[in-house]
Amino acid sequence: MNDTAETLHFSCTLCGKCCHDLKLPLSVSESISWLRRGGVVQVLTEAMPWPVEPPADDGPAQHKRRRSFAATSGNQPIRVIVTLAASFDGPCPHLRDDMRCGAYEARPRVCRIYPAEVNPYVKLMPAGKACPPQAWTEQHPAFERAGRILDDQTVEIIRQSRDADAQDASLKERFVALLGYTKAALSNEGFAVYTPQPAAAREALEAVAAQASRSSLDRVSSDWTFVSNQRDTIEALVSIEARATADTKDDDGAFRYLGWRASNT
């Protein structure tokens, strides 16, 4: 697969697998565009206790800090990460029969960089990608060497994605406040997945985007509840005076819990 242990070769085979059954992370402006084209955007929430600020040289923690906003859970300071995701089962609504993108010029950044990773702390692993083995053979151009993506355009789009992620954190804070979302999974354990009505999501996103373009955003004060399907997690969160519940869906079905481990509650 590699000419050296550190070089990944890649070329898209147009198999279309990466355009099926997805939750595609989108920026705020991409979410508005996706909704305007008739798509569905889900809201994935995760949070973590944040009792003290991490050192400036703690790269992974600083990465989480940039893409999150401050809040509380009971007496515990926390940070909340909100991911907006274009969601579909089966083929993407824009996927054509010939496996080409029907929204090519407007496709989200995450589609433009695939199979590269946006998160600088996630290693690109072919086994974790939808692309078939023949996409990674040495006949193809070098795609990544020693952990660095080689194509300048892809590098630039990844940079834009990271910048948008950081800039959008305060807009997402306002957005979830408008929709009344206050439940989050513990980060690295899963997500609370909200599925707002597309019209309501679009209206709220357009409102926060318009406000951001006029002035700095008001701070929002919100108190969050952790949701978990792990008994130990709930006990640990309650012991630090955070709010935590094993109820993995609201009575009105507003969210459902998507956990990485089988429930033991």
- Contacting residues toward ligand SF4, per CB under 6 A: 12-19, 92, 94-95, 101, 103, 107, 111, 114-115, 130-131, 135
Q: Are 25 and 91 in contact (CB under 8 A)?
A: no
Query: Least separation, in Å, of the C-beta of 42 and ligand SF4?
Result: 15
Nearer to ligand SF4, 9 or 79 (CB): 9
The Cα 217–Cα 59 span in angstroms is: 27
Nearer to ligand SF4, 97 or 252 (CB): 97
First vs last Cα of the chain: how many Å apart? Answer: 44
Query: Least separation, in Å, of the C-beta of 1 and ligand SF4?
Result: 14
Query: Least separation, in Å, of the C-beta of 102 and ligand SF4?
Result: 6
Pairing between strand 225-227 and 69-73? unpaired
Nearer to ligand SF4, 10 or 194 (CB): 10
Nearer to ligand SF4, 8 or 179 (CB): 8
Query: Least separation, in Å, of the C-beta of 43 and ligand SF4?
Result: 19
The Cα 147–Cα 120 span in angstroms is: 10
Nearer to ligand SF4, 81 or 110 (CB): 110
Query: Least separation, in Å, of the C-beta of 108 and ligand SF4?
Result: 6
DSSP sequence for 22-62:
EEEEE-HHHHHHHHHTT--EEEEEEEEE-SSPPPTT-HHHH
Q: Are 113 and 25 in contact (CB under 8 A)?
A: no
The Cα 106–Cα 103 span in angstroms is: 5
